[in-house]
Structure 1
Amino acid sequence: MNKDKIYFAILLFFVAKLSFGQVPVRREFQAGNTTQLILSETALPAKNYDFTTSDLQVKWHLLILDLIEQTTGYTPLVAARSMAYINLAAYESILPAYSKRASLSGQLQGFEKPKEFETDSVDFIKELALNNAIFTTVDEFFVAAPFIWMERIAALKDSVDAKFSAGQSKLAILKSKNYGVSIAEMVLKYAAKDGGKNALFRSYDLNYKLPSCESCFEINRVADLENTGPLHPKWGLNRTFIAENQTDFDIKPDFEFSKYKDSRFYKDALEVYNTSKEVTAGSDKMNIANFWDDAATFTYTAVGHSVSILTQLLRTNPVSIDSSAKLYVSLTLGLNDAMIAAWKSKYKHNLIRPGAYIKKYIDSKWEPAILTPPFPEFPSGHSVQSATMATILTNLLGENVGFTDYSKYWVGEPKKFNSFWESANETSISRLYGGIHFREALTKGQEMGKKVGENVLKLKFEK
């Protein structure tokens, strides 16, 4: 078969899938001064956006989540870092319009906003400031994004600028835009010193030598043929936003490695093995494993999923711009710190994954339901970050906030949850169902995530 026939066959395959609704397509169009988002089949219902509310940040985050999915090098850690700085710039950019809102300057490690950034609300258009702050940071953090996606980002920025510049004085327009850009540039300088600046271009450390021992993690070459090193082994050294999160909280496994059948370690591995027999095609456990399998390169990652939950909630229930800015920055600062704490612990304990252990000591032909990622087992990063999400959003929005999660519309039906913790608990157990974590990594991961979230909640947003 020549190349033309191969390309034609591939094209027919995708056309067929689209025709039967198996590959939902995102389409957007302008409707007056509003934008509508349409997803086919299991889609979010279309809505009219009011950019004087949280809808402005919601719209930006819908595009940011697409960018994470489409941009090479966007691992969960890179995604958490980028979204945190984007939302820090967004929050700081609107403060002149809100005299009672407190800056995070002096509250975050190494973040000090110079006095020249102090200004008043006269001739200040908060929507323009926020719009330009987000665009400037997105343009920097997604430098490797496909050009067609950056065109969409520029189009959103220009359309919002045009809407909120109409009828305004040149002074107000210039002051507001420049303030947003200046805040973004200040935040970008702050970001450049955290230790993660070049991670987008080098996910795998070719020079890092993993320890070799019976209990040690080893890269699964079947699952990771393209990888030649572990993922971000030094990420735990990065600067956290909250000083109290610059630690692994001395959280460690309660069991010691053992290959003997009467040991706790063996029994925990056997739980993963026996559970895997229930994770069959079409089963609830398989659906859960797939729903939360937020792997990089073809989803917006686990931290993106947590941000997607907030985005979907605000899309249905809009709030004021300052309230959404507080929600987004609190969540994303927490997710960034959660991943740093988790990675500090992962490479400290360097624990073997269930797949390698089970093949050596229980069943040499066994395979987990989802691919084993290229980094150590303990703790579960999904558990850490989702517990951070649940801790922060439960505190800020309430214990019994129900929502429908459309994040993985290509996997199956949307999932309904009665609370953020119900969602987080399912996120966590999904990793055991997937066969890539022991239960100990889940429970201790949630413990770590709660501590990270509680420290974020100590930030003061009111003067």
Structure 2
Amino acid sequence: MQLIACNTKKDYKTIFNDSKLYSNTVHELNKVVMGNNFSPIVASRNYLYANVAAYEVIAAGYPNQYYSLAGQLHGLTTVPKPVAGKTINYEFSALMAFCTLGESVTFPEGSMDDYVNSLKKLAKDHGMPSDIYENSLEYANSVSKVIMSWSKKDNYAETRSMERYNVQAEDPSRWVPTPPAYASAVEPHWNKIRPLVMDSAAQFKAPPPFPFNITDKKSAYYKQVMQLLDSTRHLSDEQKHITEFWDDNPFKLNVSGHVMYGTKKFSPPGHWMSIVGIAAEKAKADYATTVFTYTKTAIVLFDSFIQCWNEKFTYNTVRPETVINRSFDPDWQPYLQTPAFPEYTCGHSTGSSAAAEALTSVFGDNFAYTDSSELEFGIKNRSYKSFNEAAMENTWARFYGGLHFHPTCLSSNKYGKEVAQLVDERLHMKKTGK
């Protein structure tokens, strides 16, 4: 738990009207997500509902600046309005709603209790009147109940009991589990999750991948295998840094002899949640703008993962590691650990381009920033001239890591951007511009 160090003389209005406090709260959820080993796609669901709950509180508190998402996101029909005459601190209330949804969507009850209690103590210690305190909690609870009810109708629970992925090892073009964990395919039914803005999981169809062909040296498939194999055998220190920076493996299984242990990092959507906070701080965004930006980014990440997972389990393409070990070099290993789902398309490149597009829509193109998200994992910072430059670097990171062919990453970047552009066109959030 980590709250902003603050002057005890500041009153509660000043304390809670600080966008850094909201970013700290998102980071707290990030740590809980990481600690529970959730896959990137499941993590995107946590960030989505938590941020939407907070956004709805802020939209109610700033009705001249923001629209509710009710009637705009699929299945969200109405959100309760504040009771007339009751004074609410909307910033504090938004934090309470965020934490309620953040832990309740997937986690066991009580995952964020210590942090929530610290926020409540912050309110009391800085003079929040008891009626405003109670009104704020009451409104957060009323919004949270509606968002929670809405979340339970997105088919997540139903997909928990659907059949597991059918491995067909006799087909060399089809995905099979990879070392060292040889884990089952992650979320093969995610395309059945209710999208937010897209009409369906299949609205944006990527073209088919290159036909599997490892015998014809002139074929596009053979050439992309050779490109990856040659490049990964000669990675520069800079390429390794790029690869490690965008690894974002939420659970890497390390194997040394008979000893196995896991190491954790933020997942891809968690990494982009951190980038939102970095950008908001650099732009000196106010509290409401910060919540809006996190929410818009969470929405595009959520829908982009649905789009990507539909492609993955439509084509079920084999990973480079499997192809190379079987037919070219049995001793070759990718620089990064291969995740447990098909190769085409790339989830990280899809989500990164979608998030970059959302952030560009808020802060503009050519927004230079330094990403310090990975410092807590011992990986030095990287700087970018724009969010889109960062997303394009990601397409190389997944290639250098040996996880994806580069044409896959480029296609993924294109369709992630298209998902984000649809969100930008259809959603009305700010009353002065997008």
Q: TM-score, normalised by structure 1?
A: 0.83
Say whether the 8 Å CA contact 2:213–2:222 is kept in structure 1: yes
Report the equivalent of 1:159. 121
Query: What pairs up with 1:400-415 in 2 under 5 angstroms?
Result: 400-409=366-375, 410-415=377-382
CA distance in 2, matches of 1:391, 1:246: 19
- The amino acid across from 2:381 in the alignment is P
| Paired residue secondary structure (1:456) | helix
Query: Any idea what SS the aligned residue of 1:404 has?
Result: strand
Distance 1:175 1:245 in 2: 39
> CA, structure 1 residues 243+33, in 2 after alignment: closer, same or farther (shift >3 Å)?
farther
Q: CA contact under 8 A between 2:76 and 2:150: conserved in structure 1?
A: yes
Partner of 1:43: none
Query: CA separation in 2, counterparts of 1:55 and 1:163?
Result: 19
Corresponding residue to 2:266 among 300, 308, 319: 300
Deviation, 1:160, is 3.9
Shift of 1:443: 1.0
Match of 1:94, SS state, is helix
How far off its partner does 1:122 sit?
A: 5.3
CA distance in 1, matches of 2:20, 2:292: 14
How far is 1:245 from its partner? 5.5
Aligned to 1:16: none
- 311-320 vs 445-454, greater mean Cα deviation: 311-320
Measure, in 1, the Cα distance between the counterparts of 2:327 and 2:277. 44
CA distance in 2, matches of 1:27, 1:131: 14
- Residues 428-439 of structure 1: matches in 2 within 5 Å? 428-439=395-406
Q: Say which SS state the counterpart of residue 383 (structure 2) adopts.
A: strand
Q: Please name the residue that 1:137 is paired with.
A: 101
Alignment partner, residue 259 of structure 2: none
Q: Counterpart of 2:177 in structure 1: which amino acid?
A: I
How has the CA–CA distance of structure 1 residues 67 and 315 changed in structure 2, closer, same or farther, with 3 Å as cutoff? farther
Q: Which runs of 5+ in 2 are unaligned?
A: 252-263
2:134, 2:68 → 1: CA distance? 22
Supply the distance in 2 between the matched residues of 1:341 and 1:305 (Cα, whole angstroms).
19
Matched ranges for 1:13-412 at <5 A: 30-33=5-8, 50-72=15-37, 74-100=38-64, 101-113=66-78, 117=81, 119-120=83-84, 123-141=87-105, 143-144=107-108, 150-162=112-124, 166-168=127-129, 170=131, 172-197=132-157, 207-212=164-169, 213-220=171-178, 222-225=179-182, 227=183, 229-244=184-199, 246-247=201-202, 249-259=204-214, 260-279=216-235, 283-297=237-251, 298-409=264-375, 410-412=377-379
**Could you report, residue by residue, the CA deviation over 1:336-393 in whole angstroms, capped at 9, with x for unpaired residues?**
1111111011000001111111122322221111111110000111110000011111
Conservation of the 8 A alpha-carbon contact between 2:3 and 2:24? no
CA contact (8 A) 1:406 1:414 kept: yes
Counterparts in 2 of 1:138 and 1:163: CA distance versus 1, 3 Å:
farther
CA-atom RMSD in angstroms: 2.5
1:264, 1:403 → 2: CA distance?
Answer: 37
In structure 2, relative to structure 1, the CA distance for the partners of 1:185 and 1:252 (3 Å cut) is: same
What's the offset of the Cα at 1:261?
A: 1.4
Q: Which residue of 2 aligns with 1:23?
A: none
Query: For structure 1, which segment, 50-59 or 75-84, has the greater mean C-alpha deviation from structure 2 after superposition?
Result: 50-59
SS in structure 1 opposite 2:120?
A: helix
Residue of structure 1 equivalent to 2:255: none
Q: Distance in 2 between matches of 1:53 and 1:183?
A: 22
Structure 1 regions of 5+ residues with no counterpart? 1-25, 36-48
**Could you tell me how far 1:206 is from its partner in structure 2?**
7.0
Decide whether the 8 Å contact of 1:105 with 1:113 is kept in 2.
yes
1:59-88, Cα deviation, whole Å (9 max, x unpaired): 21121111121124x110111011010000
Give percent identity, aligned residues only. Answer: 25
Contact 1:224 1:373 survives alignment (8 Å): no
Given that 1:354 and 1:436 are in contact with CA atoms closer than 8 Å, whether structure 2 keeps it comes out as yes
